Amino acid sequence: DARVTQTPRHKVTEMGQEVTMRCQPILGHNTVFWYRQTMMQGLELLAYFRNRAPLDDSGMPKDRFSAEMPDATLATLKIQPSEPRDSAVYFCASGASMNSPLHFGNGTRLTVT
């Protein structure tokens, strides 16, 4: 059963450290999304890609966040430097096309102290 894989599942780090989250989308899916979930804000769309090209990253704090797709099997989300307000669960999702249902990974729970 194909699924989206995210690593790590949990990450605890100190303020100022770099954090890298990884996502392996489902093979053949050409859209990849990054979301952040918090109790206060709910699910926020951070960035998304189609055929590895970034379509929109306006949801990300540009000065510290970056999202890339080095190849079709890997998407990364980096935070440098991390801050306590970045603490959240970060989800990656992939879809066969822009209007298709999304398949979510189980998320990376990030805690910045």
Binding-site size for another protein (CB under 8 A) equals 21
Shortest reach from residue 70's CB to another protein, in Å: 21
Q: What is the per-residue burial (b if ≥16 Cβ within 10 Å, else e) of 60-82?
A: beeeebbbebeeeeebebebeeb
Separation of alpha carbons 91 and 36, rounded Å: 6
**Which stretch, 12-20, 44-52, 61-69, 73-81, contacts another protein (CB under 8 A)?**
44-52
Q: Give φ, ψ of 84 to 5 degrees.
A: -55, -35
Shortest reach from residue 33's CB to another protein, in Å: 6
Report the residue from 17, 51, 80, 106 that binds another protein according to the rule CB under 8 A.
Answer: 106
Shorter beta-carbon distance to another protein: residue 44 or 83: 44
